């Protein structure tokens, strides 16, 4: 199966890039399934019903979340009516789920959403949750397992890779909005510390620069806003999965000025 993952969609600029380019890329790259992270999709914080439907209509198949999953009240009915996940390591009793299995190109594909600990809201242990979830999926006959690890600390993301390499198909990090340059395949597991945002590329993590710069200068927080005009980017990882193994992968950056950049994953020899 050939699937893609799109990083944190930030506000209207990010949604616009999805609406403009995703259907074309799905056709050109012969994609079977598209996963995207929604947690900043509605003006930078959470997800509304309207924006969810926009993204699904544009070609997204399932969406993962993070610490901003709860910022819009629409999220609770969305858990019931749409293919929307939230971090699976939230405590028992929290609405929604962080893992679902799909039939894709004649095989089963599990999508698992986890959230890290450093600088994040209180949750159960992400690493124990990951081990238990992966074991349960394999016992259910699922070989292809994709993980969106929404975390601040790069060490947590790398630690999950060291723990699960060879056990899952792919681990891709989200949350920082800044793309890292370590796309690799090791022991048949794809890994990328952070995929980077889809949205404004000429500001601060997709937000207007004024509020963050003021905070850096004064120590005083103010409301972060999405710029009304900006230069935009869509970032995605495309991967070929077979029998639970990542056969090949590459990063695609689509710019709103028409440029498309592709970078192949490097393979770590066993």
Just list the catalytic residues.
Answer: 68
DSSP-derived letter for residue 21 is: H
According to DSSP, residue 87 is labeled -
Distances in Å between the Cα of 3 and the Cα atoms of 71, 109, 110, 185, 229 are 28, 10, 12, 15, 31
Q: Is 258 left (phi over 0), alpha (psi -120 to 50) or beta?
A: left
Interacting residues of 13 by C-beta distance below 8 A, sequence separation 6+: 199, 200, 206, 226, 227, 230, 232
Q: How far apart are CA 232 and CA 200, in angstroms?
A: 4
CA dist., res. 267 & res. 75, Å (int): 38
């Amino acid at each position: 199966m050939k699937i893609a993952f799109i990083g944190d969609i930030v506000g209207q600029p990010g949604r616009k890039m999805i609406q403009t380019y995703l259907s074309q890329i799905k056709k050109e790259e012969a994609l079977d399934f598209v996963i995207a992270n929604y947690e900043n999709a509605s003006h930078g914080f959470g997800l509304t019903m309207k924006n969810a439907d926009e993204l699904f209509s544009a070609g997204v198949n399932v969406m993962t979340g993070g610490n901003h999953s709860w910022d819009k009240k629409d999220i609770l009915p969305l858990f019931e009516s749409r293919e929307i996940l939230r971090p699976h390591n939230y405590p028992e009793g929290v609405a929604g789920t962080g893992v679902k299995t799909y039939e894709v190109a004649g095989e089963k594909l599990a999508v698992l959403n986890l959230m890290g600990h450093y600088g994040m809201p209180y949750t159960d242990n992400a690493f124990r949750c990951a081990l238990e979830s992966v074991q349960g999926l394999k016992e259910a006959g699922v070989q292809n397992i994709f993980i969106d690890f929404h975390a601040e600390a790069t060490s947590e993301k790398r630690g999950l890779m060291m723990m699960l390499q060879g056990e899952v198909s792919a681990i891709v990090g989200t949350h920082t909005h800044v793309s890292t340059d370590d796309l690799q395949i090791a022991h048949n597991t794809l890994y990328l510390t952070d995929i980077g945002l889809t949205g404004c590329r000429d500001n601060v993590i997709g937000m207007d620069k004024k509020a963050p710069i003021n905070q850096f200068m004064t120590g005083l927080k103010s409301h972060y806003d999405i710029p009304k005009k900006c230069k935009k980017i869509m970032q995605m990882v495309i991967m070929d999965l077979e029998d639970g193994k990542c056969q090949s992968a590459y990063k695609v950056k689509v710019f709103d000025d028409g440029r498309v950049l592709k970078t192949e994953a490097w393979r770590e020899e066993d």
